[in-house]
Amino acid sequence: MKKIIFTGDAPAPIGPYSQAVLANGVLYCSGQIAANCLDGGIAAQTENVCGNISAILSAAGMQMSDVVKSACFLADMDSFAEFNEIYGKHFPHKPARSTIAVKALPKGALVEVEVIAVKDRTD
């Protein structure tokens, strides 16, 4: 069984996709960009992105500690250290992660993060 997850506490999708889909206890969260601070630097955008992810997780009955995998996209790999510092505050449980440098992101964003979370995982 799958359920589409949507919350007004995170940006609405800008295309034909869902914020997240919950299927068999696993949440697949679409990539999130900073909705309200695209003029801000990497730190502000990363904080905003993590807030968006937290809101979507909450709408699915989950929390940041339920994230088991993330994929992080940076428009400039020179921002990696600053991004990593903010990201680490939100994911102290250290989920598996990929970080990829990309040529460009939607709306000129500096960072995009997508996550997979598991509600009933065993540690």
pLDDT in tens, 46-95: 999 999 999 999 999 999 999 999 999 999 999 999 999 999 999 999 99
Q: In which domain, by residue range, is 58 found?
A: 2-118
Pairing relationship of beta strands 96-101 and 67-74 according to DSSP bridges: parallel
Write out pLDDT tens, residues 51-64: 999 999 999 999 99
Q: Looking at the domain assignment, is residue 90 inside a domain?
A: yes
Distance of CA 45 to the CA centre of its chain: 11
The total number of structural domains in the chain stands at 1
Residue 114: pLDDT band by 50, 70, 90 thresholds? very high
pLDDT given at position 1: 83
Tokens of 104: 């460009």
pLDDT of res. 35: 81
What pTM value is reported for the model?
0.93
pLDDT of the residue at 40: 84
**Secondary structure (3-state) at 114:** strand
8 closest CA partner among 59, 62, 66: 59
Q: What are phi and psi of 16, to 5 degrees?
A: -80, 70
Q: What is the CATH number of the domain that holds 27?
A: 3.30.1330.40
